[in-house]
Chain A
Amino acid sequence: MVKKPKPDLRVEIGSCILENPVMVASGTFGYAEEFKGFMDLRKLGAIVTKTITVKPRSGNLPPRTCETPSGMLNSVGLENPGIGSFIKEKIPFLEDLSIPIIVSIASEDKPDEFLVLAELLDRIKAVSAIELNISCPNIKKDRLISQDASETFNLVKAVRGITGKCLITKLSPNVTSVPEIALAAQEAGSEAVALVNTFIGMSIDIHKRASRINSLVGGLSGPAIRPLAVRMVWEVYNKIKVPIIGMGGIMDIESAIEFVLAGATAVSTGTANFIDPAISLGIVSGLRKHMEDNNIADLREIRGKLKICAD
């Protein structure tokens, strides 16, 4: 029997080359230093930082998290030190890791803040890509940019105009059609899309007759959202050409492969990092083994290769 060559785990996200397709989702991995005692960070495919804004943000009033059936709600509200401190205090550690660093950014008031942030990050060598978080449900706004295709297009286009870095757009699941927004991001020059951000949810303590988190509503994540997220990745995969970074309740190797079969080029662990801080590396080795066992040389062979179940 002819053995296939060793599996090649490398994937391309636009101009970024990842040694393996496993990344960590924004806001669930801090600035990576929180995890250094648990794992060898250099073995990750890429790291996405907590979302950064122009000014420091103290975030929402606590309580900010609660557990829900197979998931959790959060309303952290983008607490972060602001771009100045981020560059000074967090970049040096990330730079030393010598793996792709993706910085997630968001605006608080005006979309122009994205341009300020992108311009600053464009000059930093350690930054491989910029992820546009236009989908955070936890900042008080009537509507998110990612809930409107033309706003998404305009924003991505504007940022595209000022940076040559790889651009990723993070999409919200809280829309009628994710593919429509994904298409707008692609047309405007986004080199990849990341989905999904959290679903807007709510949970009530019946004894206190009160919401479980201070902001009333928050973002739902974890295994509870996985089937919804897989469906959205599949829909988007069938509409666009650029790579998809899939996430939503990935807890183990099986759920990671599920996203690849739905069409994801890379996957991100989110909530799982809180429970099992080194799970992302467990998924990397599990993925390698799955490829060896199934004679898969490159994930391209199975990406989006989904059959329809029949009796």
Chain B
Amino acid sequence: MTATQVKVKIISNRKIKNNCWRLELDSGAIARSASPGQFLEIKVCDEGLPLLRRPISIHGVNGSRVQLIYEVVGSGTRVLSGRRKGEFLDIIGPLGKGFEYGRKPVGKSVLVAGGMGVAPLLFLARRLKPAKPLVLIGAGSKEQLLCLQEFKAFGCRMAIATDDGSAGFKGKVTEMLDRLLREMPDAGRPGNIYACGPQPMLKAVAKICRGHNISSQLSLERHMACGFGACLGCVVSTKSGYKRVCKEGPVFKGEELVW
């Protein structure tokens, strides 16, 4: 489906923990056509500031419901967190090119999430459910870990890393990924690695995957003015020149990016 601009009803908008919120919207059209890795451009308020829309990944769909999770980091997400159930939200979506995955993925899939990076990966895990992907989740500390129950409910195997060691492996999720790949027998090596998280994490994932000769798909974040390919603001450097994160991405093959 091509992206459309629609006003959708807010079913719920609740704090899940710390600064993180879960927003549920009523849109059958978007729920039916969205694929993992795609995002919405949200006008957080009908009038007044902020001016530009805010890009948020699609976290899940359920019937006609579209779920998002977001962290309050600035004025736009703060205004969004004040929006109430029953109000209408002006959105454009679904936007961008999401993750590529076959109906029957070749080899195992590994999902690597850092912080809010769980957002699009939970949706992917749902679609990969029959293949029981391995999910590596990293966060600063135990309190900051998100969506563990949800991934488990999809039958994913999980491994956790925290910077302070308050849960799971002590260190970066990317160190854990590297170790895991080293220890794996050749036959058990994953066919695909999907990742979303902060830029340094994605850079490390791309490097590790290159070292192990495994293809990676990374979901990037860049400041964007429009979100649908018009402003040329969100470009990222690739082997074939600048590409728009909003249109040719947000998911790119790690091998194609120039860091």
Pair from one complex: yes
Q: How far is the CA of A73 from the CA of B227 in the complex (A)?
A: 16
Q: Pick from B5, B228, B231 the residue with the most CB of A within 10 Å.
A: B231
Q: Which of A56-64, A180-188, A258-266 contacts B (4 or more CB under 8 A)?
A: A56-64
* A28 engages B230 (CB within 8 Å): yes
A74 contacts which of B43, B50, B233 (Cβ < 8 Å)?
B233
Give chain A interface residues in 259-307, CB to chain B under 8 Å: 271, 273-278
Q: Interface extent on B, as a size class? A: 20 to 34
Give chain B interface residues in 222-243, CB to chain A under 8 Å: 222-237, 241-242
* A273 engages B230 (CB within 8 Å): yes
* A28 engages B231 (CB within 8 Å): yes
Q: How far is the CA of A29 from the CA of B224 in the complex (A)?
A: 15
Does B4 belong to the interface (CB within 8 Å)? yes
Does A119 belong to the interface (CB within 8 Å)? no
Smallest Cβ distance from A291 to chain B, in angstroms? 25
* B242 engages A275 (CB within 8 Å): no
> Which chain B residue has the least Cβ–Cβ distance from A36?
B2
Which A residues lie within 8 Å of B50 (CB)? 67
Q: How far is the CA of A62 from the CA of B98 in the complex (A)?
A: 22
Does B92 belong to the interface (CB within 8 Å)? yes
Q: Contacts A59-B235, A70-B51 hold; do A274 and B226 have CB atoms under 8 A apart?
A: yes
Q: How far is the CA of A65 from the CA of B245 in the complex (A)?
A: 13
* B52 engages A72 (CB within 8 Å): yes
Q: Interface extent on A, as a size class? A: 20 to 34
Does B131 belong to the interface (CB within 8 Å)? no
Q: How far is the CA of A196 from the CA of B49 in the complex (A)?
A: 23
Identify whether the interface residues of B are mostly helix, strand, loop, or mixed: loop
Does A222 belong to the interface (CB within 8 Å)? yes
* B5 engages A30 (CB within 8 Å): no
> Which chain B residue has the least Cβ–Cβ distance from A70?
B51
> Which chain B residue has the least Cβ–Cβ distance from A29?
B230
A34 contacts which of B5, B49, B230 (Cβ < 8 Å)?
B230
Smallest Cβ distance from B76 to chain A, in angstroms? 8
Does B257 belong to the interface (CB within 8 Å)? no
* A30 engages B92 (CB within 8 Å): no
Smallest Cβ distance from B259 to chain A, in angstroms? 13
A62 contacts which of B51, B53, B225, B234 (Cβ < 8 Å)?
B234
> Which chain A residue has the least Cβ–Cβ distance from B2?
A37
Smallest Cβ distance from B152 to chain A, in angstroms? 37
Q: How far is the CA of A64 from the CA of B224 in the complex (A)?
A: 9
Does B3 belong to the interface (CB within 8 Å)? yes
12 pairs of residues in contact across A and B, judged by CB atoms under 8 Å:
A37-B2, A59-B232, A62-B233, A64-B235, A65-B225, A65-B234, A72-B51, A72-B52, A76-B232, A273-B226, A277-B5, A277-B230
